[in-house]
Amino acid sequence: MKLDAAEAEEYGPFGAPLFDGPEARALRRVGVIDVGSNSVRLVVFDGAARSPAYFFNEKILCGLGAGLAETGRLNPDGRERAMVALRRFAILARGMEVNSLTAVATAAVREASDGPAFEAEVEAATGLKLWVIDGTEEARLSAQGVLLGWPEAQGLMCDIGGSSMELAVLPGGGQVGATVSGKLGPLKLQNVKGKGARRAEIDAGVKAMAEVLGQDRSDKLFLVGGSWRAIARVDMHRRGYPLHVLHEYTMTPKDLRATFDLIEASDMETLRQETRTSSARMSLVPLAAEVLSRVVKTFRPKEIAISSYGIREGLLYERMPDVLRARDPLIESCRASEAASARLPGFGRILYKFISPLFSRASERRQRLIRACCLLHDVSWRAHPDYRAEICFDNATRANLGGLTHSERVFLGLALLHRYRNKREGTPFEALAPLLNEADTQEAEVVGKAMRFGAMFSAQDPELMGRLKLYPKRGELELALPKGDGEALYGEVAEARFRSLAASLGCAPKVRIGRA
Ligand code: LMR
Ligand code: MG
């Protein structure tokens, strides 16, 4: 789409809105290239607009910022590798018929004396216009990325790159507050000789950033950037954490202290292999750990969470209309999944309505998770029946999804597992069981069995499904079935499933024919 001058002015440097209208739910393939000081990456988003899927994602650790502090110039080898990567990305994006391609460059390109020459070279070779953004814009966009996954995020966002670190206050309500950028990237710190001098530089750097923010406390810290993610992988390894999903992985300051100690005491090559980290990344981990240690000491968060969403996702969120931002990222992606893969898209909503009387006292947060379960209850129907339960579980727990905690992932997976199976012994749930408490495990079983029962009525007029009613005091689960077809649908398998559901609620099953 070609913009006239007035439109270009209105939309700013990142171009026109990505969404055809506020009602647009699906995204037209959108590409973002992030030319960072460490890595150069192409991401192409597709799918549900509120919760985009990673249609394509490739990263090359070029190290554009390596040596920059000494020479004032881009790393010559990095510059060559970045050019090769960008040429490749531009061709790939064309082949994928990417609708909009935005390329941003951060600390290394903005600081290097040959940054402008690099920009010109990129444009000449690929046609890509690099938007070289300043540190506060970088902070703001990374914070927007955090909001894509946690629209209500409250706390402090901290993004580490190769040559800079950004902080942004997240005051809640979907807003980004004060931002600041500092020169604490690990590639930069590599040039500071001596442990003491490095420490002094980190301390002074973090202190100065806290002063700019006018804040030296934050209950929750959201971490963005490859080097923080590598530290989180070490933390998972140290704890023997069973779910290898970094997004929404949480740590306490105590966890991190133990991990920093481990990093200091370990042979880096062994740790690198154990955590499956590249050597280029691992060489930065000890320096990044020193910075994070200072950040945690300064802001004293109670909880530290990894956000896989950062500047690239922020560029997307930036251009979302408010109506779309207001939608739930989890529900939107489950809807997209249902539309793409379920036999009867739309039945998930009916099923939710059918089973919801069992969960009338659940929190709103829990009800939305149960709704997500229903939307996904049939997306694995193509799998072989012997494996469906396991496949459902793995899909849900490992999905590239935002808007749910790790224990909610396991809840979702377990409910879907019980949608196909009564027993969970001997299934992949066992390894992840420590992430879900007893009561939630029980509730996920009830959700699964309720879906297993409700699915018996699929493809039917919701009226024929009858109505569930729970009488906890009487210890009864009642099914009111309409006479005629409704009654006829309630075959012996349905009956067995109804009994199993009642049993998992600790209730006696009661069937009543005729409307409630
Ligand atoms: C960078 O500066 O490249 C970062 O944004 C991401 C990374 O890979 O450390
Ligand atoms: Mg970056």
- Whether 227 is in the pocket of ligand 1, judged by its Cβ within 6 Å, is yes
- Expressed in angstroms, the distance from the first to the final Cα of the chain is 57
Q: Which of 245, 275, 310 is the last residue of a domain?
A: 310
Residue 409 lies in a domain: no
Closest-lying ligand 1 atom to the alpha carbon of residue 38? 3
Ligand 1 atom nearest to CA at 284: 9
Pairing of strands 476-481, 53-61: unpaired
Ligand number, closest to the Cα atom of 227: 1
Domain that holds residue 511: 456-515
Same domain, 167 and 302: yes
E strand or H helix at 200: helix 195-213
Query: Does a structural domain hold residue 240?
Result: yes
Same domain, 51 and 184: no
Domain-located, residue 6: no
The reply to whether 408 falls in a domain is: no
pLDDT at 91: 96
Query: Would you tell me the crossing angle of helices 406-420 and 388-398 to the nearest 10 degrees?
Result: 160
Q: Is 161 in the pocket of ligand 1 (CB under 6 A)?
A: yes
Ligand 1 atom having least distance to the Cα of 59: 8
Does the CB atom of residue 466 touch ligand 1 within 6 A? no
* Distance in angstroms (rounded) separating the CA atoms of residues 288 and 270: 18
Residue 301 lies in a domain: yes
Å from CA of 219 to ligand 2 middle: 24
What sign does the dihedral 500-503-508-512 (CA atoms) show?
A: negative
Q: Which of 58, 142, 160, 291 to mutate to test the pocket of ligand 1 (most atoms within 8 A of CB)?
A: 160
Amino acid at 13: P
How remote is the CA of residue 314 from the centroid of ligand 2, in Å?
12
Contact of 408 with 438, CB cutoff 8 Å: no
Q: Are residues 97 and 180 in the same domain?
A: no
Look at residues 503, 401, 515 and name the one whose alpha carbon lies nearest to residue 453: 503
State the CATH number of the domain containing residue 55.
3.30.420.40
Closest CA to 104 of 51, 75, 71, 142: 142
Give this prediction's pTM: 0.92
Ligand that comes closest to the CA of residue 187 = 1
Q: Which two tokens stand for residue 205?
A: 């750097």
Question: In terms of Cα–Cα distance, which of 395, 363, 362 is closest to 376?
Answer: 395
State whether the beta carbon of 38 lies less than 6 angstroms from ligand 1: yes
Helices 329-341 and 364-375: angle between axes, nearest 10 degrees: 20
CB of 218 closer than 6 angstroms to any ligand 1 atom: no
pLDDT tens for the chain, residues 1 to 516: 445 666 555 555 555 556 655 556 667 789 999 999 999 999 999 887 888 889 999 999 999 999 999 999 999 999 999 999 999 999 999 999 898 899 999 999 999 999 999 999 999 999 999 999 999 999 999 999 999 999 999 999 999 999 999 999 999 999 999 999 999 999 999 999 999 999 999 999 999 999 999 988 899 999 999 999 999 999 999 999 999 999 999 999 999 999 999 999 999 999 999 999 999 999 999 999 999 999 999 999 999 999 999 999 999 998 888 888 888 999 999 998 999 999 999 999 999 999 999 999 999 999 999 999 999 999 999 999 999 999 999 999 998 888 999 999 999 999 999 999 999 999 999 999 999 999 999 999 999 999 999 999 887 788 888 899 999 999 999 999 999 888 888 999 999 999 999 999 999 999 999 854
In the numeric block, which tokens belong to residue 45?
């988003």
> Is the CB of 310 inside a 6 Å radius of any atom of ligand 1?
no
Residues 156 and 76 occupy one common structural domain: no
The residue nearest atom 5 of ligand 1, judged by CA position, is: 161
List the beta strands (DSSP E) in 188-332. Answer: 220-224, 250-251, 303-306
How close is the Cα of 129 to the center of ligand 2, in Å? 18
**What average pLDDT does the chain have?**
93
Residue where one domain finishes, among candidates 113, 132, 151: 132
Is 115 near ligand 1, meaning CB less than 6 Å away?
no
51, 183: one domain: no
Whether residue 146 sits in one domain with residue 90: no
Q: Establish whether residue 126 lines the binding site of ligand 1, counting it when its CB lies within 6 angstroms of any ligand atom.
A: no
Ramachandran assignment for 44, one of left (phi > 0), alpha (psi -120 to 50 degrees), beta (any other): beta
Residue 358 domain-assigned (yes or no): no
Q: What is the DSSP letter of 285?
A: H
Q: How far is CA 91 from CA 42, 275, 444, 491, in A?
A: 11, 33, 46, 57
Query: Which residue(s) pair with 171 in the sheet?
Result: 154
171 assigned to some structural domain: yes
Atom of ligand 1 nearest to the CA of 162: 2
Q: Is 39 in the pocket of ligand 1 (CB under 6 A)?
A: yes
Q: Judging by beta carbons within 10 Å of its beta carbon (0-12, 13-18, 19+), is residue 383 exposed, middle or buried?
A: middle
- Exposed, middle or buried, 140 (CB in 10 Å: 0-12/13-18/19+)? buried
Residue after which a domain boundary falls, among 132, 159, 190: 132
Q: Identify the DSSP state of 124.
A: H
Q: Is 144 in the same domain as 213?
A: yes
Which residue has a Cα nearest atom 6 of ligand 1? 161
Total domains in the fold of the chain = 3
Residue 142 C-alpha to ligand 1 middle, in angstroms? Answer: 12
Residues 163 and 302 in one domain: yes
Same domain? For 169 and 303 the reply is yes
Ligand 1 mutation pick, 33, 34, 38, max ligand atoms within 8 A of CB:
38
Q: Is the dihedral of CA 274, 275, 277, 283 positive or negative?
A: negative
One domain, residues 226 and 279:
yes
CB of 63 within 6 A of ligand 1: the answer is: no
Whether residues 100 and 188 share a domain: the answer is: no
CATH number of the structural domain spanning residue 249: 3.30.420.150
Q: Which listed ligand is nearest to 230 at the C-alpha?
A: 1
Same domain, 210 and 115: no
The answer to the question of residue 142 being in a domain is yes
